[in-house]
Amino acid sequence: MNKACPAVIITPITMTEKIEHCDFLIIGGGIAGLSAALEASKSGKVILLTKGKTGDTATEYAQGGIAAAVDEEKDSPLFHLQDTLEAGAGLCDESAVKVLVSDGVKRVKELVKLGTKFDKDLTLEGAHKHRRILHTGDATGAEIERALAARLLKEKRVDVRNFVYGKDLIIEDGVCLGAHAHSADGSEEYTFLAHSVILATGGLCQIYLHNTNPRFATGDGVAMAYRAGAEVQDMEFIQFHPTSLVKPEKEGRRLLISESLRGEGAILINAKGEAFMEKHHPMKDLAPRDIVSRAILEEMKKTSSDFVWLSLKNMDRSKLRERFPTIYEGCMEHGIDIEKEDIPVSPAAHYFMGGIKIDVDGSTNIPGLYAAGEVSSAGIHGANRLASNSLLDGLVFGHRAGRAAARYAAEFDSKRLSSHRRKRAKTVKGSLKKDEILKLRLELKKIMWENVGIIRSGDSLRKAVEKIGRIESKLDFTSRDESEIELKNMALISGLTAKAALERTESRGAHFRTDHPKQNDADWKRHLIYKSK
């Protein structure tokens, strides 16, 4: 599958290539990248690359909130730990989760000091037994991103480069020394040499036809790290959010209908108007996301419908516009007035529980390379992420990765960079035309949705592996065309996801196989880890 994917692509430097040095290179500008940048910048020069403009991240679209046990009277990190472990279906690393829930309270309090404006009330979401979700209406991610970015701008310690695309990591003698990159339009190439590199590129759910992710979520960081020799784990665990708006998507992204609506009283009903979650789980509409997603599919099949309804009849509709402005406006754009109407919803790919294998300090198996946020996997989400733990993950482990990278950089021998062999493989304009790339991209997304989706089987997964391999064989791995590089990365991680799902012959959390419908702890209470040859 990966025979054409070298760890470092090598060719003579051209006059147009720019060579730059820094202490810390951070690739990705969401909550994990910004958190890492704030911490690392205390110890040296930071260059932060973003694939698009600042704010084009999954963090910006995070509606529900950030989970933390800040209510000391009614909640505790121990309760948060228990809920996270239960949702993770036996695959959480308990030591990493302890770090998440304990550090999380400290980091959230720091956000407040930075000027993050949370609403006064805590809300409830699926699989949480206590109200611990801090939120800013239904635009929490955007508010956190604003506060972090404002502090970075104020302190002027981070050099942010928008529209610069990280392509491949520079690995010499087993050590990460930086990354090759280029401008989004392909007109300029860069070599960034750094004492340490932090990948915070977010998730990969754009590999699915129906998803809630921004268009940049194509798995670039996981693909870069894998090609460079980093270990990746839990690739089979993709979380499908039960409730996305069933209307024409914008740029392949569906409008997320936050779980907070169900936390505040909304219920799911089928095409016949029947509430159905009670027969699927004791927590009813606030059951874990994998259970709700499969229940919705079952009801859709029974009623021959393409969606179910999220009924708001138990809510005070006059307060919906104020409490959920993002959802209100998004639904209005599609002709749905939630003050008067229910919302047609169905599941969509939402979050990646796997990623680059890291320890609790964000370290990978490659010295000098760190990762944080959705691109990484410390085992905190297990087989099924607890709602609103994603922003907390990026915040906590971004901070820890920045701190660990600073410790590493303090001992780094700068002579390694001055003696770096300034060579890389010749890049070409690209062998595929734009329409060919678009067709292959659509084909890949359909393969993943139909064969490696919410419900899987050995037959569907074998078909996916075969079809993805055929797409990979058509791609040029020396192309500098952004859309072809994206497709290359998407095909690589799609293949790894399908391979892992085929190998795991059980059902656990978000991974459900009709040919192996039971959880099998005796054989499969373990992580699948892959490393490029």
Chunked mean pLDDT (size 10), the chain, 533 residues: 38 60 95 96 95 68 82 95 95 98 96 92 87 88 89 89 93 94 85 96 95 92 97 97 83 82 93 95 90 95 95 91 91 93 95 97 98 97 93 97 97 77 55 88 97 98 97 79 88 98 97 97 97 90
| CA–CA separation, 61 and 261 (whole Å) | 16
Catalytic residue among 107, 253, 289, 508: 289
What is the per-residue DSSP string for 286-353?
A: GS-HHHHHHHHHHHHHHTT-S-EEEE-TTS-GGGHHHH-HHHHHHHHHTT--TTTS-EEEEEEEEEE-
Residue 122, CB half-sphere, CA atoms under 13 Å: how many? 17
Asked if residues 171 and 183 have their Cβ atoms less than 8 Å apart, the reply is no
> What tokens were used for 274?
């029947």
How many angstroms separate the CA atoms of 239 and 23, rounded?
35
The one-letter code for the residue type at 9 is: I
Q: Are strands 232-233 and 238-245 parallel, antiparallel or unpaired?
A: unpaired
Every domain of the chain and the residues it spans: 18-237+353-418, 254-348, 434-526
Report whether 133 contacts 388 (CB < 8 A): yes
Chain Cα centroid distance, residue 231: 17
d(CA 17, CA 181): 10
Amino acid at 201: T
Three-state DSSP at 193 gives: strand
Cα separation, 467 vs 116, whole angstroms: 46
How far apart CA 119 and CA 517 sit, in angstroms, is: 42
Task: Give, in degrees to the nearest 5, the angle at Cα 453 between 58 and 296.
Answer: 90
Exposed/middle/buried for 82, CB within 10 Å: 0-12, 13-18, 19+? middle
Rounded distance, CA 269 to CA 285, Å? 10
> Strand 267-269 and strand 189-199: pairing?
unpaired
Q: Distance between CA atoms of 51 and 114, rounded to whole angstroms? A: 26
- At residue 251, the pLDDT reads 54
Residue with tokens 């919705």: 296
For residue 10, what pLDDT is reported?
35
How many Å apart are CA 178 and CA 172, to the nearest integer?
A: 10
Please, which residues have CB within 8 angstroms of residue 351's CB and are 6 or more apart in sequence? Answer: 203, 205, 238, 239, 241, 374, 385, 390
Cα separation, 323 vs 453, in Å, equals: 32
Three-class secondary structure assignment of 102-163: HHHHHHHHHHHHHCCCCCCCCECCCCCCCCCEECCCCCHHHHHHHHHHHHHHHHCCEEEECC
Determine contact, residues 196/41, Cβ cutoff 8 Å: no
| pLDDT at residue 6, as a whole number | 38
Topology of domain 254-348 in CATH is: Flavocytochrome C3; Chain A, domain 1 (3.90.700)
Which CATH architecture does the domain made up of 434-526 adopt?
Up-down Bundle (1.20)
355: left (phi over 0), alpha (psi -120 to 50) or beta: left
CA distance 60 to 43: 27
DSSP state of 456: B
Give me the helices (H) in 209-288, please: 220-228, 260-263
Give the count of beta carbons closer than 10 Å to the beta carbon of residue 93. Answer: 20
**CATH class belonging to 18-237+353-418:** alpha beta
pTM to 2 decimal places:
0.91
End-to-end CA distance of the chain: 11
Is 504 among the catalytic positions?
Answer: no
**How many other CB atoms are found less than 10 A from the CB of residue 505?**
13
Q: Does residue 200 contact residue 58 with C-beta atoms inside 8 Å?
A: no
| Residue 457 near residue 514 (C-beta atoms within 8 A) | yes
